[in-house]
Structure 1
Amino acid sequence: MRLTIHTTDSLRVVPNPSPRRFRLAAVAALTVATTMTACSVGSSPHGELAQDKQILTDCDASSPPASDIQVDGTGSSDTKEITEERMAAIEQVVRTTAICSGRLRVSVFSASSAATATLFDGPLLLHGATDNARLKRAAVVVDDAMTEIRDAYGPAVAGLKGKGSDITAEYRLAGEWINQVGGDFRLHLFILTDGFQNVGIDLGKRAISKQEAAELANKTAMPKLPGASVTVAGLGRVAGTPPRSDVVEGLVTYYDALCKKTGAAKCVSVTDYASEGR
């Protein structure tokens, strides 16, 4: 499965009750949160190299990405289909992080910041004397990282403590991590979750108004993440019957408000992980 991403900072995701439009918005959103452009090319080695060259062109050499991917490991979104969608999204972030000489952390979480397990944490570097030589190493580096992440995922989720979902705790962990990483890295936080927080604030599966979402966000203590890019993806994607569109719209509004409270440079909250037709 391949995730095709097109970057343009001018895009802005607007919640819409149409499932199709939600999915299309997700593609744009994951794009905005990353600093990369991938062209839609064939699967040939030459086509893949062209795609990687375009990603490299859009890398910010002065602020390499520190990509922090936090995956909700609770049962409400535990299906094979959702897991594979998340893995496809993770792979795209891994590839871009490697090409841009960044650092990656991937974790799963449940009921608290303590109930978190790290699947991968380290630099992603492509060695070689030229750009082409380094880019030709991308596939191996990405495959190795994804193998490690996939192998660790199942046991890590099974070992998570607690049955609740504390999504807001992951923002604080991201802030602590980027401070530890230091240097000139820029935080790109991806939280892959259905959005149904039930620790501290219980969102339940009910619709909340824009005003209520803003009030709930205002009551939530949030860390400062200046300059960061924050994407919350998968909102409303649950095992079983999907929630109504107004419920999902409330989640989008709530997570947008939470992100703005952190002072992040970019805030994107969407329903899906990848493009249609995969």
Structure 2
Amino acid sequence: MSRFTKSNLAHVTPVRASAAAALFGAALVLTSCSTASRPNNDLAADQQILATCDAAAPPAADIQIDGSGSSSSDAITEERFKAIESVVRTTAICSGRLRVSVFSSSSAATNIIIDKPLHLDGATDNARLKRLPTLVTDTMTAIRSGYSATASSLPNGGSDISAEYRLANEWIGQVGAPYRLHLYLLTDGFQNVGFRLDDKVISKQEAADLASGVAVPQLPGASVLVAGLGRISGAPPSSEMVDGLIAFYDALCKKASAAQCVSVTDYTVAGR
């Protein structure tokens, strides 16, 4: 269900993919490629990812999916699964830990689908990487099969996106050293619990002012990606409204003192 009023819809224009999508792919190694589209023996790309891994700080990938009604469409869900698959792949290559959750109207309205380390056995890098397709496939099968029941058990009339920063902070505190938090928020961005981002266009200054009043924990060293901003199941919002969302989530991430902040409208990377 869309959360826009008729007056908002009167000014709808198509959403353009943000130029930050290139940074989205480069900074966090997230692409739209699926396992099915890549040969199992294609080690070169996986070796490139392996070369970027930090053994001293393996990734703790916390993927949080917005389960509210405004972005509940098969197309958006499939886009999110493709994004998740890329995170799973990178996390497994770097011997990290993965958590995937679905949330809606509050931090309490958050259900976990999977929470486990991703480890590849083998005597050499190539031997381990050859086991990667099976691990990715098995992990994605568990996520896909658990998603519908998890999402349907949540209230879909509200979205409290900012509350998920606290849950991410609590999780990385439990996981502990040496992991580094990589938070992925797959959401349309239209928070309507506590404060509203779905009822009007806001300027960059208004976005910064609003973010300054939102309570978020400190996430030093973390990377935060908010992806899918403005992607809803109904008619898309105006580009100006989406620009306000991007500005807000950039400002919120900076308030959390994260090391990397990326806020984008699209899941795909240019050229893919």
Q: TM-score, normalised by structure 2?
A: 0.89
- Count of residue pairs the alignment pairs up: 256
Per the alignment, residue 259 of structure 1 pairs with 253
C-alpha contact (below 8 Å) 1:27/1:273 kept by paired residues: no
CA distance in 2, matches of 1:230, 1:93: 13
Distance 1:253 1:52, change over 3 A: same
* Cα-to-partner distance string for 1:196-246 (whole Å, 9 max, x where unaligned): 000001111421011111111011011000000000000000011100000
C-alpha contact (below 8 Å) 1:252/1:269 kept by paired residues: yes
157, 164, 169: which one aligns with 2:163: 169
Letter in 2 for 1:111: S
Q: Is residue 29 from structure 1 mapped to residue 18 from structure 2 by the alignment? A: no
Letter in 1 for 2:234: G
216, 220, 233: which one aligns with 2:214: 220
Question: Over the residues paired in the alignment, what is the CA RMSD in angstroms?
Answer: 2.0
The farther-off stretch of 200-209 and 127-136 is: 200-209
C-alpha contact (below 8 Å) 2:15/2:238 kept by paired residues: no
Letter in 2 for 1:136: K
Structure 2's unaligned 5+ residue stretches are 1-12
Per the alignment, residue 135 of structure 1 pairs with 129
- SS of 1:108's equivalent? strand
Per the alignment, residue 14 of structure 1 pairs with none
Cα offset, 1:163, TM superposition: 2.0
Identity %: 60
Counterparts in 2 of 1:101-250, with a 5 A limit?
101-161=95-155, 163-250=157-244
- SS of 2:191's equivalent? coil
Cα offset, 1:35, TM superposition: 8.9
Q: TM-score, normalised by structure 1?
A: 0.87
Per the alignment, residue 269 of structure 1 pairs with 263
25, 38, 47: which one aligns with 1:53: 47
C-alpha contact (below 8 Å) 2:63/2:183 kept by paired residues: yes
CA distance in 2, matches of 1:43, 1:67: 22
* Cα-to-partner distance string for 1:157-179 (whole Å, 9 max, x where unaligned): 10013621000000000000000
65, 72, 77: which one aligns with 1:71: 65
- SS of 1:105's equivalent? strand
C-alpha contact (below 8 Å) 2:161/2:189 kept by paired residues: yes
CA distance in 2, matches of 1:255, 1:101: 29
C-alpha contact (below 8 Å) 2:88/2:98 kept by paired residues: yes
